[in-house]
Every structure is written in C-alpha cells, then in structure tokens.
Chains A and B, each alone.
Chain A
Amino acid sequence: MPTPFKKTPHPKERRLVFQNVDREGWSEDIGCYMENGGYEELRKALTMERTAIVNEVKASGLRGRGGAGFPCGVKWGFIKLDEPKPVYLICNADESEPGTFKDRYILHQDPHQLLEGMIISSFALGVHLAYIYIRGEFPTGAKILETAIAEARAKNFLGKNILGSGFDLEIYVHRGAGAYICGEETGLIESLEGKRAYPRIKPPYFPAVLGLYQCPTIVNNVETLCNIKHIVRMGGAEYAKIGKPNNTGTRVLCVSGDVREPGYFELEVGAVTMGELIYDLCGGMKPGRKLKAVIPGGSSAKVLRAGEKYKIKTKQPDGSTGEKEIGIEDIVMDFDSLAAVGSMAGSGGVIVMDDSRDMLWTLNNINEFYAHESCGQCTPCREGSLWMKKITERMLLGGGVERDPAVLKNVADNIAGRTICAFGEACAWPTQSFVAKFKEEFDSRAGKPVPPPMPPEYLPEELIGKEEAHA
C-alpha cells in the first residue's frame, strides 16, 4: 500500500508523475520503487512491438513538458525503425527556466521512475546509449541518479540483454555546468559533445534528423519521459482521456512568488483556471495584497496583467465558433488557452506578483538573467539582452530617459525572430510585454531629457552637448 503524502494533495490534483514525491517513508532506492510496482511497465513494454509502443505514445497525445509543448509521438515518429546509424536518447534534466522546479523532485525522490521511462523509450526507439543531461547545480541529484543506475544495472534493467529480451542499453549521467542555454535541445547536444552550448542553425529542425554526433537523437524532458511509463501502463487511448483534447495528460505546475502557499501541483491539463490556481490551490495572495501580474510559463513567457481582458474563441454547442471575453482569473491553465491570451504554458513555472511589486525592478531582474545567460552566438541577442538590462538598470537608478520605453521595445523587437534559437524570443518577450502592459510605470521612470553622465568617458556638459548635436 502506498504511504500517505507529507502534504495532502489538493482534491483537484491528480498524481501520476508525482505519485511518489513527498510521501511518508518513501525513499529513492530501487527496493522501495519495486515494492510499489516499479519496473512492471518495463516488463510489459519488453513484450510489445517497438512500433506498438510508439503508436501508444502517438495515441496518448502527450505533448512535451519542457516548454515548447511539441507532440512527443510526432517527434518519436521521425526515428526510422531500421535506422542504420546509432540512435541516441537524451533526457533533458537541465531545468533552467526560472520559475520551474518540478524535475528537481522527480530526480531527487523518484529517479527510478525516470529510468524506467527512459528504458522503455529507448527500447521503443532502438536506442542503446542514452544520457541524462542534468544541470550542474544538482550535484546531489546526479549522485542519486548514478546510484539508481547502478541499482537498475544490478537487477538487469540496464546493461546487456535486459531481462532476457536481447535488448542492450546503457544510461549515463552528464552534468552541465551552470549555463541556461543548455536547456535548448541543440545547445544541449553541443554541450554533450564537449563544446560550448551554442544552439545549432535550423534546419534540420529536429535533432531526430541530425543530433548527437550527427546521428538521430531524441531529446525529451524529465516529466515527458516519466509519462511514457504511465502511457504504457494505461494505454495511449486511456491516457488521452486525462485532460482535454490536444492538451492531454497531467501537468506539474510550479507556483512561486507572492502567494500564501507556493509549491507544485500535478493537475489534469486544463483542470483549473488561473484564478483557481492562485486563490484555491495556493491559498490566495498574501494578507492585504492584491494580484498585480502573473508570468504563466517560466520567466520567458509574456506577463499577464491583472484586470486585463482577453478575447478568446469558444466552440458553441452547434459546432460554430464564438468569441468570449475573459479576465486573467478565467484563463484555463493549458497549452492552447495560454497561447490564446498571448502568452504560453511554457515549462509550467507560474510566478505570481502582488501590488507591492515594482514592475521595472521585476523586468530588470529578468533582464539581468538573460543578459548573463545569452550564449553570445548571435549579435542581436548578445548585445540586445545586455542593452535592455543596462537601460532598465539605469531607469531603476533614477536615470531613465524619456525615450527609454520606446528604445526598450525597439531593442526587443529587433531580437525576436532574428536569432538562431528561441532564446531571442525568450529574452525579448518579457521586455516587450512588461513595457507595453505597464506603460505608466515605465513612463513615470523615464523623465530625464538626456542620459545621465557615464564617467569616465564623458563629462556631463560634453554628454549634453552630444545629445543636443544629435537631436
């Protein structure tokens, strides 16, 4: 019998991937996992045809849990059954999107669930060598995974001729070293090849075509791979009944910021609205505080402002589409609804801000992150992210110039869409959305006609002179 949870899950929750997280008496060793039915799905999968497993994943409608929400079955479908080159599987455990902390719990508390998902996936895809790319900031997690791998190997769930099936697989842990960009799948592959994590030029759009060592490679998020085990157990069609069409399964939402009880919640995709998430699951805003803004899917997602109205399309009972106006509290927490209001479900990291927060300070904090994390490969991103940070920092210090909000927007507009990877959008979207949606806050901090002097390059008079000559 499973032991109770340390903190009782909210009645709206449905624990699938997090079913063993924060349980009384639960430990990460293989004995505990197997006593609770662990590795049964692996035994089942090894009796199935490889294509049958891929078909179940396709039928499940599972979308990637890393941020882009790409259908997992479609990604897997790119791998040929008779691929002559070696095929690699990489588990993306870089979890670096600010606001996201779900994979941490799986890696530290339930490593065998991930391994089982990876072994099943490797069998289905014809992979014989797989890597777990774990962020460098998880040294304990890396040790736990290494122990788990050794335990699994001792039981012949890994290694040669797994459980007599004739299938061989090795999994190794590869530690990153503090670079956000390694979460981008082609950057991750470069990093795993022992290079700087410079994302690759697309096309080819998918590492499934050319990935690690120029071989077909599948990169999946930790949570995605854990779901594979449950899909094998339930069957794809049954799994697809969880959640909503095109937004199937469960999703772990991570809430942080100004709510009374931040934390993780595993929910059927679309089971709750933003309002329910904040006021019901997280216990509401802190005493005496009101909701001001929400970043719904990791810090790259466009900010949503309290009081905003969104027009979204709805399906009428007769099949025609209508339009409905909703507020921020009514937004359903699924991939499609968050996209419809102009933001994204991203990595599931929800950051809530109350009315005590200075949006300029908030954006400056985000800008500093992106300025630090830009890999430096593409000029618009490398230079632009730094300039956006310099401008917001100057505004914060009281030196904001009248045209700063417009310059910020201009810089951001010139990054998005002009870079090799999606980091360009990731660093532009916060600035674009904050400046547009909190215009009055930014304008009020941008009152100076000319920039303040920046010693030692210029004396103030020189600077003003230059400004005037320029105007």
Chain B
Amino acid sequence: MEMPRELLAKIDEAITHYPASKRSAVLPVLHLIQEGLGFVSDEAVEWTAAKLELQPINVLELVTFYPMFRREPAGVHHIRVCRTLSCAMAGGYQLMNSFCRAARIENHAHGGHGAAIQKSKDGKYSIEFVECLASCGTAPVCMVNDDLHEKVAPEAAPAILQKYT
C-alpha cells in the first residue's frame, strides 16, 4: 500500500509523540489514515501493523473496538446525531429522521446504532447515531464532519445540509 507523502509525514511525526512505545501510536495513525483516506481498509490495517512493528490483529482489534473508525467509506459529508438522553429528550430522534429525509437516506426502521453507516444514493451524505457528544446543555446536537451544531430543531436539518454541498 502506497501512503501519500504528506500523510506519511504526519504519521511519522505522530509516532515521535510516543518515545516509550510505538504501539501507543496506533490510534493517532488510524485517525490520520481515516482523515486522509476516508476509512480504514484491510490494507491500511496491515500497513499500520508493519509500520508500528505489530501484528495486524493488534490493529484490527482497535478498529473494531473504537466506534469512530470505519471500515468502509462514509459519504462526502458525515453526520453524527447524538442519541443519548438529554438530546433524545430534546428531539434527537426526530432530528435523525429529519436529516434522513432531507439527505434522502433510507432510515432503517430500527434507528439505533451498531448498524452499518447509512448513506445517500449519491454518496454525498452519510449518517449515524452516536452516543453523548458532551454538549447536553444545548441539546439536541449533531456533528457534520468536524463541526458541532447546537440546539438543532428537527426542522433545521435541510438548512444545515445546504451548508455542506
């Protein structure tokens, strides 16, 4: 697997943060790969393992443990809707439905997480429920890519999507 040069430079820099153990760099390397390449492929798992002198299983078991890592590409814009109590009380589930309608994503009858990430047909948007985003005072909240949106009324979903075209 060929790592783009810029990404490789970032990875090499991240590894220097862990002088005591290269293994500690797995999470940062996976974050960088997902940011740069969109998801963590099997090849990326093997590449990371070789880079950090680990077995591939040492890397794969992290990809499957930590919910933020994806083994398949998300949409161009990835939406995370908070599902946890304060947001759910303020309309998080309705917000999820509203986003799905606006982005033309088929919303599974069981809207819970753990299911594969749902994507719109054109690949522009993908959406998932996530647990507490730690902004309960401004519920309901969601993230689009790296941006947090607070006090999002379900009706506001289409307007938010328009910012991400």
Answer yes or no: B158 CB below 8 A from chain A CBs: no
Question: How far apart are A42's CB and chain B's nearest CB, in angstroms?
Answer: 22
Contact mask B10-39 → A, CB, 8 Å, 1/0?
000000011111011111101100000000
Within the assembled complex, what's the spacing in Å between the Cα atoms of A136 and B34?
A: 12
Within the assembled complex, what's the spacing in Å between the Cα atoms of A372 and B115?
A: 12
Contact mask A332-367 → B, CB, 8 Å, 1/0?
000000000000000001010100010000100110
Contact A365 B88 (CB under 8 A): yes
Within the assembled complex, what's the spacing in Å between the Cα atoms of A299 and B112?
A: 19
Looking at B84, B133, B136, which has the most chain A CB atoms within 10 Å of its CB? B136
Answer yes or no: B132 CB below 8 A from chain A CBs: yes
Contact A178 B134 (CB under 8 A): no
Question: Which B residues from 28 to 85 make CB contacts under 8 A with A?
Answer: 28, 30-31, 52, 58, 61-62, 65-69, 80, 83-85
Answer yes or no: A110 CB below 8 A from chain B CBs: no
Give every chain B residue within 8 A of A193 (Cβ-Cβ): 21, 23-24
Answer yes or no: A415 CB below 8 A from chain B CBs: no
Within the assembled complex, what's the spacing in Å between the Cα atoms of A448 and B147?
A: 46
Answer yes or no: A255 CB below 8 A from chain B CBs: yes
Contact A104 B134 (CB under 8 A): yes
Within the assembled complex, what's the spacing in Å between the Cα atoms of A255 and B24?
A: 35
Contact B66 A178 (CB under 8 A): yes
- In the complex, the chain A residue whose C-beta lies closest to that of B59 is A194
> Of the candidates A101, A196, A299, which one forms a contact with B134 in the assembled complex, judged by CB atoms under 8 Å apart?
A101
Question: Which A residues from 194 to 230 make CB contacts under 8 A with B?
Answer: 194-197, 212-213
Contact B84 A98 (CB under 8 A): yes
Contact A196 B62 (CB under 8 A): yes
> Of the candidates B27, B52, B112, which one forms a contact with A191 in the assembled complex, judged by CB atoms under 8 Å apart?
B27
Contact A178 B135 (CB under 8 A): no
Q: Determine, out of A10-18, A76-84, A242-250, A258-266, the stretch whose residues face the partner at the interface.
A: A258-266
Contact B62 A258 (CB under 8 A): no
Task: Please give the number of chain B residues whose Cβ is less than 8 angstroms from any Cβ of chain A in the complex.
Answer: 46
Contact B137 A174 (CB under 8 A): no
Within the assembled complex, what's the spacing in Å between the Cα atoms of A165 and B97?
A: 58
Answer yes or no: B130 CB below 8 A from chain A CBs: yes
Answer yes or no: A329 CB below 8 A from chain B CBs: no
Answer yes or no: B139 CB below 8 A from chain A CBs: yes
Question: Which A residues from 258 to 283 make CB contacts under 8 A with B?
Answer: 258, 262-264
> Of the candidates B24, B25, B85, B147, which one forms a contact with A365 in the assembled complex, judged by CB atoms under 8 Å apart?
B85
Give every chain A residue within 8 A of B19 (Cβ-Cβ): 129
Within the assembled complex, what's the spacing in Å between the Cα atoms of A103 and B148?
A: 15
Within the assembled complex, what's the spacing in Å between the Cα atoms of A446 and B102?
A: 38
Answer yes or no: B122 CB below 8 A from chain A CBs: no
Give every chain A residue within 8 A of B30 (Cβ-Cβ): 177
Contact A176 B83 (CB under 8 A): no
Question: How far apart are A426's CB and chain B's nearest CB, in angstroms?
Answer: 13
Answer yes or no: B4 CB below 8 A from chain A CBs: no
Within the assembled complex, what's the spacing in Å between the Cα atoms of A410 and B84?
A: 25
Contact A372 B85 (CB under 8 A): no
New A-B contacts (18) at CB < 8 Å, excluding given A177-B66, A194-B26, A369-B131: A86-B20, A98-B84, A101-B137, A103-B134, A137-B130, A172-B17, A174-B24, A175-B28, A212-B20, A213-B21, A256-B139, A257-B136, A258-B89, A262-B137, A365-B84, A365-B85, A368-B112, A375-B65
* A residues neighboring B (CB under 8 Å): 86, 95-101, 103-104, 129, 135-140, 172, 174-180, 191-197, 212-213, 254-258, 262-264, 295, 299, 349, 351, 353, 357, 362, 365-366, 368-369, 372-373, 375
Return the 6 tightest CB-CB contacts between A and B, nearest first: A177-B66, A256-B136, A194-B23, A178-B68, A178-B67, A256-B86
5 intermolecular pairs with C-beta atoms under 8 Å apart = A104-B135, A191-B27, A194-B62, A195-B58, A369-B131
